[in-house]
Structure 1
Amino acid sequence: MNRQVLLFVSFLYVGSAFAQVSYSVPEEMAKGSLVGNIAQDLGLEVKRLMSGKAKIYTRNNDDYVELNRERGVLLVKERIDREALCSETALCALHFQIILENPMEFYTVTVQITDINDNAPTFEKGEMKFKISETAVIGAKFVLERAVDLDVGINDIQTYELKPSVNFALKLHNKADGNQNVEMVLQKTLDREKEEQISLVLTAVDGGEPQMSGTMLIVVTVLDANDNAPVFTQQTYTSIVTENSPKGTVIATVTASDADQGSNSKVTYSITNTLDNVRKIFQVNAETGEISLRDVIDFEKSRYFQINVLAGDDGGLTDSCKLIIDVQDVNDNKPEINIMSKSNVISEDAKLGTVVTMINTEDSDTGENGKVHCFINENVPFMLKTSANNFYTLVTDSELDREIASEYNITVTCSDEGVPSLSSSVTLTLQISDVNDNAPVFERGSYEAYIVENNAPGLSIFTVKARDADWNQNARVSYILEDSSVNGVPVSSYVSVTADSGVIHAVRSFDYEQIKDFQFRVKAQDGGSPPLSRNVTVRILIQDQNDNPPQVLYPIQTGGSLLAEMVPRSADVGYLVTKVVAVDVDSGQNAWLSYKLQKATDRALFEVGLQNGEIRTIRQVTDKDAKKQRLTVIVEDNGQPSRSATVIVNVAVADSFPEVLSEYTDFTQDKEYNDNLTFYLVLALAVVSFLFIMCLVVIISVKIYRWRQSRILYHSNLPVIPYYPPRYSDTLGTGTLPHVYNYEVCRTADSRKSDCKFGKGGSQNVLIMDPSSTGTMQRIQSEKSILDEPDSPLEQKPPNNDWRFTQGQRPGPSGATGGPEVAMGTGPWPQPPTEAEQLQALMAAANEVSEATATLGPGTMGLSTRYSPQFTLQHVPDYRQNVYIPGSTATLTSNPQQQQATAQQATQQALPPPQASAQAEPPKAVQTPASKKKSTKKEKK
């Protein structure tokens, strides 16, 4: 680095010093680089710089140099770029002053900035383009752009170079201002067909160290001249087109090329045919040479075409060719189907082979393309027959059923034999008319419906539904209730059926206790002619309602509560006092009864079984317990809502009957009893007594009347009416007991110790109550010895035919038969009973009546052995099925089997002979082990 120092010193009159110092430094020095030792160059001491507070002053505020007062030197403060600082001048310098104080002095400093080769030559444009025609002459000049170098002197541009130099050479011209003009001179002829574009590189080089350069790309485009004509690739083109090809279909493409460029190479195509209609059918794309259809080609009109095509450029140069087109025939005509005659409706009972439609077909094509075949869709009961050339008939092929298919859509398809085959189709709609050939069908084979009893009349019970597969009037179903009877009553008085809807209504209100179910038949009939019908069975089941409260059978409630049960004071825990027996005529859970103790004189003494109604003691009976105990038991069923009945049980705590009798009046004066209830009970007892007396009078009158009739028959030689001893049987016909039970009662002073014995159930006389018989009860003697006695003084002759009885007219109960002679009507008639026998029968009847009322006497207070504390539920007969006469051995029954068995036994038993009857004694009760023990105890007492 060269550094020059110039020192100028001058003295001022004012006492201030003046000096000028110059430095020269290169550009681009690093920050902090030394510019010069200003203290030494000015001859100043460093202390003076410090004391004088030396500083730099500049006008332009250029802050490139700074003063270090401690060292007395100038340093580079910022990077100095000469090209940026002095872009327009070759010489570049910094001017500033250094000022001191005390005394004030100033010095001028000049720092010259010298150039370095830090800039390469550059072109304003990186690329220059020239368009030169291939007809340009040699020596043509083309001016190039000069390069620029920011450096000066030797670092500026020194020379230019152009490469490659095959077609062009570089020429430099010095100008008066010292600059150079750069020219490019053509030195060889250009040919665009050989080289369309030439690329050259212009390089500018400076003279610095190191040497630097800059480049520019020169692109020369050779312009074309119209010196070539278009040329087709072929002189003759061939193509094949099928008829009916769509418009715009490209048939062929002709191609011509031109070696020129630009507008000189642009080729256009045209059709030159003039005499034929080629231009109407074909068209050519002027730019691409594609020949396409302008209209539809029909093979039947033209099978061959020749097209002349011309190709020309913008310079007028041309070339020509021809295109030969062959037209191919295709199957482009579909068969035509013509309906000659058709039927829209056909009956479902039409016969096989019935003609429905006649069809004719035509195809305008020829050869194989004109041969037509027709067929119909499958799964239809029709077929297509060929009657003549291109004539077809559609006929029925199988039986029709409108209920399976009421309408057919028959598709007739006709196709030719072309490749590909063309076809046409037509759809025929055929309606099937209905015939009444289907009877109504119910949805179920039988119906069951439920109705709750006590329904309102007119209630809708159920709906039967039948469907008829026919149509319209033939499918209109009416419902009819068939005539039948239920328990001898017409079913129409129970239910009715709505004719059009099949709704079954209840005509009456049903009672489950009277009728539980019944069935009838409903007929469904259509409206066809003749009508068809079908029946179905409907069963109506009556559902029970809890409409009956429980009925208490035991203990019997009498006026004044005279009945009482006795409990000894020595009774243990669990002693069975009595048993409340109740029934409910309802069924199911409505008849499930439960027993509860509602009120009691002493609740701690008794309890009631919830299910069996047994009243038992729950603790030991003591002397402190009241002698009179009154229990109120409520009997409830399990229905919803529940119904109940209340029974009052009087219990006497005593060891003997005299003790009970002493308290009898107290029972009747119990204040808890309602006065109205006592009145009604007394009134009921009076009515019952009156009715009993009336019945007694009627029975005696009837017996006397029968006795007199028998006497009259005896004197008039008429057959004797058989006589039945007083014995009763079940009359309801629905009894649950398999045998007739006879009771023999042995009473003592203590009713608890009374004994009850069952007699034989099938070997004694029974009174048969035949509800179907309207005649009087007749007596018969079954002792065959009397009828067959040979020594009888009253033997009669057999009666004639006028006195013979048929099986239905024969005297005696229905179904009863006598001996062989009686059955045949030929034997001798038995002797009539004597007066002693008749009197004995009346006395026996009176004895039974007295025994029946013996339980109401004051001696026993109604405490019968039958309802004693030891009497359990298994000894209680079914009160809904049998009628028992208390205190007697008779049972009223209506069981038909029992009647028949009893009647057969009755025919074999007759009254004993008069001599034996007069001496007969009343039968004694057979003693059971229990009765023997009780009689022994009585003797001991």
Structure 2
Amino acid sequence: MSDRTMARQVLLFIWFLSLSSALGQVSYSIHEEMAKGSLVGNIAQDLGLDLKRLKSGKARIYTGDSVEYIELNKERGVILIKDRIDREALCGQTTPCALHFQIILENPMQLYRVTVEVTDINDNAPMFSKAEMRFEINELSSSGARFILDRAIDHDVGRNGLQSYSLEPTDNFVLKFQNLPDGNKAVEMVLQTPLDREKKDHISLLLTAFDEGEPQMSGTMKIHITVLDANDNAPVCLQSVYKTNIAENSPKGTVLTTVSASDADQGANGRISFSISSTADKAADIFEIDPESGVVKLIVGVDYETSKYYQIDVQARDEGGHTDSCKIIVDVIDTNDNSPTINIISKSSQISEDSKTGNVLAILNIQDLDSNESGKVNYGFYSLVTEGDLDRERESEYNISVTCADEGVPSLSSSVTLSLQISDVNDNAPVFDKSSYEASVQENNTPGLSIFTVRASDADFNQNARVSYILEDSSVKGVPVSSLVSVSADSGVIHAVRSFDYEQIKDFQFRIKVQDGGSPPLSSNVSVKIMIQDQNDNAPQVLYPVQSGASVVAEIVPRSADVGYLVTKVVAVDVDSGQNAWLSYKLQKATDRALFEVGLQNGEIRTVRQVTDKDAVKQRLTVVVEDNGQPSRSATVNVNVAVADSFPEVLSEFTDFPHDKDYNDNLTFYLVLALAVVSFLFIVSIIAILSVKCYRWRRERMFYKSGANLPVIPYYPPLYADVGGTGTLQHVYNYEVCRTTDSRKSDLKYGKPCSESIISLDSSGTQTLTHAQRGKLINKEFDDQVRIFISSLCSSLQHFFYCKSIQTVHTCKGETEL
């Protein structure tokens, strides 16, 4: 027995429950030689079983190693003759003769014992082993001389067996019988009337054997007697009965005993020879006797389980024909030559792992053909049951060895191995090989790209261990996660549904559920994080200076600028990240490369030497902005620089830049439209001013008529004034200027003072004015306001056209430069 088998036996305790007391027992009696299909009995009715129980329990007959003479009809619930039954072949001379078998039912397992007694019919006539016997009898044989005759054999029993003999004619001989230890009778022919060879030297007799069956049957044997002359002494055996024993399985040639006899005659008439007579147990085929010495030996092996003893009939005969007989009783001694047998009546080859404790796995029958201590075992029926819980994941199969040993010396044993498969139930949920997953994928990937694989395992078996992967519903920035990734239900491979853009989504999370194929299914889930890796898929973008084919941007550098003067700064961004967004600035082309340089990291354009009068006014720089990606991407920007101290100088130099015809056409349209709008606003303003003036004139007339002096509320005109004349501004000016955003110089246009007069207030903040003074003041203020409005409108139109003439995209602003 292997260590593995022993280890498995520890997990499953084997408990044998004796089933010697079966659930029921019934007996029947039938005649031998009944036809096939003959009814033996209604087993369902006699055992109180329902026909449905016979079918559902898979009822069957168990006979062990014996021939099945009986069959079970589950449809009718009866047992029938399956094969011809010969009582003589089945039981020989043993009475009573019976068939023993069991009826086994399953689910649950049940056992019923059935005994069918087979009764004898007179189907065998008495028979002699020889058709005739011959005797040579001396004429001097005295009355009473005995001659042993071969016994007839009748295989039937009881009244159907051998019952009597008759001998004809009976002129000289009669029959006598002797009872034998085995219950049979020895037949002897006894001389009653002396023989006379001279009268009759040959006698023929007929020996008939009869039974008492219905009908009576008989068998005959002829006896031929030759009358010899002058031998008047018969041999005499020293013992009438010899007893000896022999162990079964003794080797051939083993001596059992020696038979001795004597004869009073001398010479040839006193010479004795021994022989063994034929017997029913065929002793003559098993033993032999030396004709001269009388030594009895074994010629074939004997088996205690076949016959426990033998009787040998020995005849002592002299040459004159006189005989005597004796018997040898041989007892066979049993030896432990048979191992116990284990018969599996019923067994289960598979059991579910969730079966309860005490579940019957098999029913066994134990037997030993030996006797006494050699065959001492606990006979009967046993059941193999489970004692503990089963777990297929821990042990999926058990090989259970059942061993039975007798108490002989040496002890013999036998064993059987039962294979038990543990069937699976869905008691384990699938488990991912990681508690969470993280993976990365580069942006701009191909849709359908395999990102990575999640894996889960299930400790169950077959369908219960078949896992499928499911993407749980969720959203990423309002977008269903199913529109971003998908998962293969069978392999767990996660695919990208679309191309990712790092600039839109840098990472996202979702959950994947794994589910087995059991019923009901078990599942678990895991968190997955996908990180998008940036690629250098975006070129730098220049924010300043703004590039347009319809305008020219000019940065003004005064000729007095020193070394390191900041001309402007190129501002650019890259929407990528990491080193893909690291920008560097290089000066690609320049009108005068010795005059300007660009900061590698900050993009600042500075002068590298002192500006001189010899430097051209119009300078054009081309700056390359390049990122640090692989491969790198770049953008270029053109910067126009004007080296001048005055704006007219700049304007005269930049008027020859080529312009886009479509752009000029569009600009003309917009200028005409603007002029129309301004004209409309001007007319509306004039109307409004005239209306206000008329309204004030009427109110002034009303105040004048009233003749009352009203307090004057301090009034501050829209033009600021310095009260007391001690401020820094001596006059109020209207001014206009137009310049680019980064111009270093501006042109100012000064107007004349709007008013030289300032209203002075007393310490109380109020002053009483006359009607004439107040009217004059109001009229003057009104005229100033109209003049200022008209002047501003004209200045705006002038600036509009002036800005158009220098082709700038920057707005026109007012700036005070004193």
- TM class by shorter chain equals 0.3 to 0.5
Higher relative CO (Cα under 8 Å, sequence separation at least 6) belongs to 2
**TM-score, normalised by the number of residues in structure 1:** 0.36
